[in-house]
Amino acid sequence: MKAVKGKFYFGGVHPRDNKNLSKAAASEIMPETESVAISTQQSLGRPAICAVTEGQTVNEGELIARGDGPVSSDVFSSVCGTVTEIKEMTGANGATETFILIKSDGRNDKTYLQPLSDPSPEDIKERIKQCGIVGLGGAGFPSSVKAAPGTPVDTLILNGAECEPYLTCDYRLMLEKTDEIVRGARYTAKALGVKNIIIGIEANKPDCIAAFEPYDDIKVVILKKMYPMGGEKQLIYVTTGRKVGLGKLPADIGVVVQNVATVFAVCEAVELGKPLYERIITVSGKAVKVPKNLWVKLGTPISEIVNFCGGENFAPKKVVQGGPMTGVALASYDAYTHKTTSGILLLSEDEAAADEPTPCLNCGKCADVCPMRLMPMNTAFYSAAGDFEAAAKYGNTAACIECGACEYICPAKRPLIQAIRKTKAYIRNKK
Amino acid sequence: MDNTVVISTPPHVKSKRTTRGIMLDVVIALIPCAVMGIVYFGWQAAVTELVALASCVATEFIYFFIANKGFSNKCADAGNVCKRWARQFDFTSIVSALILALVLPPRVHFYEVIIGSVFAIAIVKMLFGGTGKNLVAPSTAARVFMLLSFSVAMNVYVRPAVGAIFPDSDLIQSSATNLSGLLVSKSEIYSQPIVLMHPLDLFLGTGVAGSIGETCKAAVLVGYIYLVARKVIKWWQPVLYLGLFGIFAVFLSGFDYPSYTLDFSLFLPHILSGGVAFASVFMLTDYVTSPKGGLAQFVFLIVAAILTAVLRYFTNLEIVSFVVVLMNLLVPLFDKVFIRKPFGYKRAKKQKEANK
């Protein structure tokens, strides 16, 4: 359908997006590495329970860990080989995770599910669950939960905003796999029983907008270029005009949001029976020699990915897994990709500002840009004094989506997100 | 990869704006006013500005030096303290110094300027915790302090070197100290408010006896445009304050006519006379001493505008710095009352109805 403009949204920041570094690089398939280390913590919720033993031979796509509970997802092997070790290691975010180390043996045997032709809604829901699909935008919310909402829904929104700077993997995916995304969206819509499919794409990707316009059943909405336009609540408001209430889910107002990469995975799961063990990521930043968009298998070591991209230009100041606004800073290359890893960024000193914080000026810029209309400076002020109750009350921390816009804009470089997370952790532990 | 990587919470990219950069922008925005002050009021104005600058920065340095124990026996310590001072220096003392100098009358004595500067930085700013912690704007508080302490010197206004374009001779002569070109509203000689100066003269400051920097409104306008272009202040803040103030002042002036009349020709003279224009751009928009969030700022400026209009009408004095200090003291209250509701928030009552 002809693209229409989205509704106006206040606030937000406009960081330099640096997408030109990797925008033109067509996606490549990264060759299989010698060994992979797959974490059992691949989604929100509890880690999956290991279903293999050391020394066991597995095929590509074989189940190696079973989801524990409804918001946990199954994990699949990404290579053919032998399980060499199952051990606890420190994950990217500092928490201890169980990793399953698999040594590749060079075979090419794939264990896929039976492809479905003309599936019923129940079949699709079942398939999404079987293939361990989670939201690939970053949060890692299992798609099977989203595909079976408790309340009636009427709209499926595809998130093609990709508002994070640097990342271009969704952009490449939308250009190269347009048809698969549309088919995946139709399957997802069928599972949900909705007719209305909307895709939101930021205005800085006109070729993607043009690519989706020919499909008659998909409404294309052009979003203003702003961070965080791809935030779930922001996207829903801009595309449909509905507001998600505090503490509510999008399904409560009849909307389900899926990332474009997620619906692509749904398409592969339905048509090929392929479980989710591979995804597209962006390797970018000024410190990496050749920025690329890569199809990477689950559990690939970051060091191998950096080597495949030609290595470092110079020593990076920060290594980020994910986007620069919400991603995790890595202490070393000794980490492995997850289902939710959307990028590996090697940021130079110039890009990754690490200035010393100066006193807060009360300028209120953090409140001006906050897409949730919160007052981050109050959280920072009261949490620094140790009064987390007041921090949560005056800063409305519970509604924070941790987009990082406040800390981005802060002229005093105050660590606002740190204060917000501390406050949230305090409130969570108190309950 | 060597050991130099930094780990921190996101975001990993940050804007290039810093406190120092913003304060430097304010300094740049104040330069037109400072230059026009020297052009209009001669070398004494330049001396006032330089003395204020030097004494403010020196006060801040000495306070920092003492507070960080620079006076220990080791020379290396003193050197370190100096280095640390240079690293944390963020131009806020220069902004305070310039604003203070610009709101003083041109013939104020230099030692009075020094006392005012020391009061502004040492007592109003540093004692409360330095940058970002002061309750009232240092420069405004110092002006009030000086007005009460040196009331004679602080009330001597002279005419600028550049004469009025539209001289209305006898009116100007008869009002030697017309307080930056204020209206004489409740005069016994005239039965209605009269405008002492042509609005164009008030705008350019030609022939208007006033403070060093407040006199030339054209320079204030240049500073306003610069600050808005650099996104330091919001464009609507001075416009809202000045507009509302002008309207209220016109309403109140109506009582001075034999029968109540709304005379909107008084609008421009009201907003262009005195220090309201300067205060609206540089004082009421000060980050530290204005409330946070758009709604709170909106209400803050409305209250300030009403207060200024009412107090000016009843006192016939240049009252705006008192209003700014008073409003500054109300800011913590504004911050407590105006907590924004998050996106998607519904009032408790409505939510109950929705649940039914």
Band (pLDDT 50/70/90 cuts) for residue B175 is: very low
User: Across residues B6-28, what is the average pLDDT?
Assistant: 91
Interface contacts A/B by beta carbons within 8 Å? 176
Please name the residues between 261 and 320 in chain B that touch chain A, using a CB distance below 8 Å. Answer: 287-294, 297
Query: Is the pLDDT reported for residue A423 higher than 50?
Result: yes
Asked if the model's pLDDT at residue A351 lies above 80, the reply is yes
Closest CA to B244 of B181, B301, B311, B183: B301
Whether B253 shows a pLDDT value over 90: the answer reads no
Give the range among A189-203, A290-304, B64-78 with minimum mean pLDDT.
B64-78
Task: Return the pLDDT at B190.
Answer: 58
Set of chain B residues whose Cβ sits within 8 Å of the Cβ of A378: 292, 335, 339
Determine the distance in angstroms separating the CA of A267 from the nearest CA of chain B, rounded to an integer. Answer: 32
Percent of chain A scored above 90 by pLDDT?
A: 60
pLDDT, tens digit, for every residue of A389-414? Answer: 999 888 889 899 999 999 999 999 99
Tokens of B13: 């990219």
CB of B33 closer than 8 Å to CB of B219? yes
Contact B45, B106 (CB under 8 A): yes
Q: Is the pLDDT of residue B6 over 80?
A: yes
How confident is the prediction for chain A on average, in pLDDT?
90
Chain-chain contact of A421 with B6 (C-beta, under 8 angstroms): no
Please provide the size of chain B in residues: 356
Comparing CA positions, the residue from A190, A44, A197 lying closest to residue A125 is A190
* Distance between B37 CA and the closest CA of chain A, angstroms: 29
> Is the distance from CB of B241 to CB of B306 less than 8 angstroms?
no
Distance (Å, whole) CA B303 – CA B331:
12
Compare all CA atoms of chain A with the CA of B338 and give the residue at the minimum distance: A394
Q: Does B14 touch chain A (CB under 8 A)?
A: yes
Q: Does B188 score more than 60 pLDDT? A: no
**Start-to-end C-alpha separation, chain A:** 48
Percentage with pLDDT > 70 across chain B: 87
Residue A151: partners with Cβ closer than 8 Å, 6 or more residues away: A251, A252, A254
Per residue, what are the HEC states of chain B?
A: CCCCCCCCCCCCCCCCCCHHHHHHHHHHHHHHHHHHHHHHHCHHHHHHHHHHHHHHHHHHHHHHHHHCCCCCCCHHHHHHHHHHHHHHCCCHHHHHHHHHHHCCCCCCCHHHHHHHHHHHHHHHHHHHCCCCCCCCCHHHHHHHHHHHHCCCHHHCCCCCCCCCCCCCHHHHHHCCCCCCCCCECCCCCCCCCECCCCHHHHHHCCCCCCCCCCCCHHHHHHHHHHHHHCCCCCCHHHHHHHHHHHHHHHHHHHHHCCCCCCCHHHHHHHHHCCCHHHHHHHHCCCCCCCCCCHHHHHHHHHHHHHHHHHHHHHHCCCCHHHHHHHHHHHHHHHHHHCCCCCCCCCCHHHHHHHHC
Give the nearest partner residue to A367 out of B7, B90, B292, using CB atoms: B292
Phi-psi region of A413 (alpha: psi -120 to 50; beta: other; left: phi over 0): left
Q: Using the beta-carbon criterion (under 8 Å), do A359 and B133 form an inter-chain contact?
A: yes
- On the question of pLDDT at A120 being above 50, the answer is yes
Q: How many residues does chain A have?
A: 431
Per DSSP, the three-state class of A383 is helix
**pLDDT at site B348:** 60
Q: How far apart are CA B214 and CA B279, in angstroms?
A: 9
Q: So what's the pLDDT on residue B183?
A: 53
Say what the ipTM of the complex is: 0.85
Q: Is the confidence at residue B178, as pLDDT, over 50?
A: no
Least confident of A35-49, A260-274, B53-67: A35-49
Which of A362, A382, A407, A424 has the most B C-beta neighbours within 10 Å, making it the best mutation to test the interface with B?
A362
Cα of first residue to Cα of last residue in chain B, in angstroms, is 60
pLDDT at residue B72 above 90?
no
Q: How confident is the model at residue B194 (pLDDT cuts 50, 70, 90)?
A: low
Token pair for B98: 């310039």
pLDDT band at A371 (very low <50, low <70, confident <90, very high): very high
| Residue B59 confidence (pLDDT) | 95
B60 touches chain A (CB under 8 A): no
Most A CBs within 10 Å, among B4, B5, B12, to test the A interface? B12
Cα separation, A290 vs A216, whole angstroms: 38
Quick check: B123 contacting A, CB < 8 Å? Answer: no
Angle of CA points B271, B274, B277, to nearest 5°? 50
Using a pLDDT cut of 70, give the percent of chain A over it. Answer: 100
Residue B181 above 90 pLDDT?
Answer: no
Q: Which of A236-245, B203-212, B328-337 has the lowest mean pLDDT?
A: B203-212
**At residue B356, does pLDDT exceed 50?**
no
Q: Do B18 and A315 touch (CB under 8 A)?
A: no
The tokens 């998050």 sit on which residue? B342
CB contact under 8 A, B6 and A330: no
Residue B156 has pLDDT above 90, yes or no: no
- Residue of A8, A167, A407, A417 for testing the chain B interface, max B β-carbons within 10 Å: A407
Asked if residue B319 has pLDDT above 60, the reply is: yes
Q: Among all residues of chain B, which has the CA nearest to that of A253?
A: B344
Q: What is the pLDDT of residue A110?
A: 86
Token pair for A294 = 């890569």
Whether the per-residue pLDDT at A121 is higher than 50: the answer is yes
Residue B196 banded pLDDT, cuts 50, 70, 90: low
- Are A250 and A232 a contacting pair, CB within 8 Å? yes
Q: Name the token pair of A339.
A: 């289902």
Structural class in CATH, domain A4-15+114-272: alpha beta
Answer whether residue B177 shows pLDDT above 50.
no
Residues 76-105 of B with CB under 8 A from A: 88, 90
Least trusted range by pLDDT, from A141-150, B105-114, B195-204: B195-204
Kindly list the domain boundaries of chain A, sorted by start residue: 4-15+114-272, 365-430
Q: Does B169 touch chain A (CB under 8 A)?
A: no
Which residues of chain A does B6 touch, with a Cβ-Cβ cutoff of 8 Å?
317-318, 329, 352, 354
CA-nearest of B284, B281, B275 to B30 is B281
Strands A292-297 and A28-29: parallel
Q: Nearest Cα to A268, choosing from A72, A63, A124?
A: A124
Q: For residue B249, what are the contacts with CB-CB under 8 A and spacing of at least 6?
A: B266, B267, B270, B271, B309, B312, B313
